[in-house]
Amino acid sequence: MIRPSVRSTSARLSSVAVLVALFLAPFAAAAQQQAPAASTPQSAAQAAPAETTPSAPAPAAVPALPKPDPTNFTASSPTKETINAFLQANWGFDTSRVWQVQAILKTPVEGITKVIVYQEDKTGKQKPSALQFFALPDGKHIIIGDSIIPFGDHPFAEARAILQARADGPYRGTATKDLEIVEFADFQCPHCKEAQANMDKLAVDFPKARIVFATFPLESIHPQAKRSAAYGICVAKQGGSNDFFTFVSAVFEGQDGLATADGATLTLNSAVTKAGLDPAKIATCATSPETDAAVKAQVKLAQDLEINQTPMLLINGRPIPANIPYDTIKMIVEYQAKLDGVIL
């Protein structure tokens, strides 16, 4: 699993967190640290290794996934094609991963289908494991654990549409929204600070992307986060996107100063000055009802997308943590752009 490098407002995973954990974590864990192996289906563990082409050194043998039993396909919906399209959308960026739909079963509840998928890694580094979920009658959602997440050929389309309509914060890159990368961040979150190196690289490597900053203060654990967010909104309003990102860099650089109210005043005023604006005017703006409403609107956007962690990126609606290894982020951006027909 991805190491615990994000802040959460709740111990219960949101649907976004479930998406990340189930569909990104195996690949990300391999890139970051060794993860405990998932339980291996007995038939898969007993299957003979697949043949490999000799090479030097010889690659690890990959256990063959067990042949599906036709009697385990008792439901007509969702189809195997739809399930594979869903998994391709989520897993396709990882070319080392292979999977097989093992069962599509009727359940005692009319219209709810139990789906079992086996997956493994071509390199043989991870043992075969099983993914189980329940498809709902609407054909657009599935239940995994205690969460409901989007399902179908284009599982991120709804989130993408919401972001295109409502992610109106300061941005870097192009004004068009063909490839929109939205960062949800909290100025007092140390992991958001760490993620800024990734965000700077994205701006360089994807000049045709629209990279939006959405402020998401987690007030329950960061007392100065909302105030910092309000300052940021006023900086963007009075100075524009360029001044805003100068402010962002300065605040994260002096993040330790946000530990106290007095320290936050000094840190925020210093960041405003570095952005070339008047701290007194920004401070007045930050306490206005209009600014408070703007902060609440961005928090509501995160909540409507079921985000409860920072830092989080949504790449055309696809959620991933913003502080995983940059090579992985870049790979996913390129893959999502390809899925959406975006020419980079």
Q: Which band of pLDDT confidence, cut at 50, 70 and 90, is reported for residue 123?
A: confident
Q: What is the pLDDT of residues 75-102, one digit of tens each?
A: 999 999 999 999 999 999 999 999 999 9
Q: Which band of pLDDT confidence, cut at 50, 70 and 90, is reported for residue 308?
A: confident
> Which among 153, 112, 154, 119 is positioned nearest to 133, based on CA atoms?
112
All domains of the chain in start order, with CATH: 62-153 (no CATH), 158-339 (3.40.30.10)
Radius of gyration for the alpha carbons in the chain, expressed in angstroms and rounded: 22
The residues that bridge with 101 in the sheet, in sequence order, are 117
pTM, two decimals, is 0.82
User: What's the confidence (pLDDT) of residue 35?
Assistant: 30
Buried b (16+ CB within 10 A) or exposed e, 201-214: ebbeebeebbbbbb
User: What's the confidence (pLDDT) of residue 134?
Assistant: 98
Q: How many CB atoms lie within 10 A of CB 80?
A: 13
User: What's the confidence (pLDDT) of residue 249?
Assistant: 98
- The token pair that represents 131 in the structure block: 């993914």
The SS3 call for residue 122 is coil
Q: How many CB atoms lie within 10 A of CB 340?
A: 18
